[in-house]
C-alpha cells in the first residue's frame, strides 16, 4: 500500500503538461488497492477541477444513477476507483471540452492499474477511455456499447453520462431498458463480494 500512496503523491504533484493546461494542473482521481469497481473516464471538467472531486457534476449524478450507487459508496475509494484518461482539465474546444491530454495515460495509467488487483467490473466511459481499454476498434461508441455482452462482465462500455448525450439516450432506449438493470446488478454483486 505504501508503494501506491507514493505513486499517488507523484501523480498529485505531476506537472508534465502544466504549461498547456488553461487552469493549471490539478489531478483528480480516486484510487485504492481494495476497490472492486473501476470507472475509466475521460478528463475532469471545470466544475470537477474546482472541487477536486471526481464526477462532482451532473455527469456524476447520472453515473451514480446508472450504477445504482449512493453518494457514499461512489466516493469510497475502497469500493470504487475513478481513473480518468487525463487527470487534469484539458480546456475547451469548439464543441465542448478538449480531449484528455495525451501525456497523462502513458505516464501514469499502467502503474496505477497495476495496484488494482480486486477489480471485478470496469466501467469504460466515452470514446477516449474506450480506445484505451478496447483498442481502436473502429467501432462507434454506439456500436461498442451495443456489443456490451461481448465483454461482459469485466469491461462495460458506456456512453459518457454528460447531459450533452441526452439526444443519444433518447435515440437508444435499449440502453436504459436492457443494459442498465444488468449493470446495476453486477455493480451491487461486485461491491458485496
| Domains defined for the chain, CATH in brackets | 2-192 (3.40.470.10)
Instruction: Give the pLDDT score at 124.
Output: 98
Question: pLDDT class for 9, splitting at 50, 70, 90?
Answer: very high
Give the model confidence (pLDDT) of 112-155 as tens digits. Answer: 999 999 999 999 999 999 999 999 888 999 999 999 999 998 99
Provide the whole-model pTM.
0.95
> Long-range pairs for 174-182 at CB < 8 Å and ≥24 separation?
174/146, 175/145, 179/145, 179/148, 180/66, 182/152
What are the tens digits of pLDDT across the range 60-100?
999 999 999 999 999 999 999 999 999 999 999 887 889 99
What is the model's pLDDT at position 97? 86
55 band by pLDDT with thresholds 50, 70 and 90: very high
**Closest to 104 measured CA to CA, from 46, 26, 51, 39:** 26
Grid cell listed for 145: 456499447
- Strands ordered across the beta sheet of 121-125: 80-82, 37-40, 121-125, 155-158
Q: What are phi and psi of 37, to 5 degrees?
A: -120, 135
Residue-level pLDDT at 174:
97
Q: What is the pLDDT of residue 19?
A: 87
Which pLDDT score, from 0 to 100, does residue 94 have?
83
Residue 1 has a pLDDT of 72
Give Rg (Cα) of the chain.
16
Average of per-residue pLDDT values in the chain: 95
**Is the model's pLDDT at 167 over the cut of 80?**
yes
Amino acid at each position: 500500500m505504501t508503494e501506491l500512496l507514493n505513486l499517488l503523491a507523484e501523480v498529485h504533484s505531476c506537472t508534465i503538461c502544466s504549461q498547456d493546461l488553461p487552469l493549471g494542473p490539478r489531478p483528480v482521481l480516486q484510487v485504492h488497492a481494495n476497490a472492486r469497481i473501476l470507472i475509466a473516464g475521460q478528463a475532469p471538467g471545470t466544475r470537477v477541477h474546482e472541487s477536486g472531486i471526481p464526477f462532482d457534476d451532473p455527469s456524476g449524478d447520472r453515473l451514480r444513477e446508472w450504477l445504482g450507487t449512493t453518494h457514499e459508496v461512489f466516493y469510497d475509494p475502497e469500493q470504487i476507483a475513478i481513473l480518468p484518461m487525463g487527470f487534469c482539465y484539458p480546456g475547451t474546444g469548439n464543441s465542448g471540452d478538449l480531449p484528455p491530454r495525451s501525456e497523462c495515460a502513458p505516464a501514469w495509467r499502467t502503474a496505477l492499474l497495476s495496484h488494482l488487483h480486486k477489480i471485478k467490473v470496469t466501467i469504460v466511459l466515452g470514446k477516449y477511455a474506450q480506445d484505451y481499454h478496447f483498442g481502436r476498434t473502429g467501432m462507434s461508441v454506439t456500436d461498442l456499447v451495443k456489443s456490451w455482452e461481448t465483454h461482459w462482465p469485466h469491461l462495460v462500455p458506456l456512453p459518457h453520462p454528460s447531459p450533452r448525450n441526452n439526444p443519444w439516450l433518447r435515440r437508444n432506449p435499449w440502453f436504459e431498458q436492457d443494459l442498465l438493470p444488468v449493470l446495476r446488478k453486477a455493480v451491487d454483486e461486485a461491491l458485496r463480494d
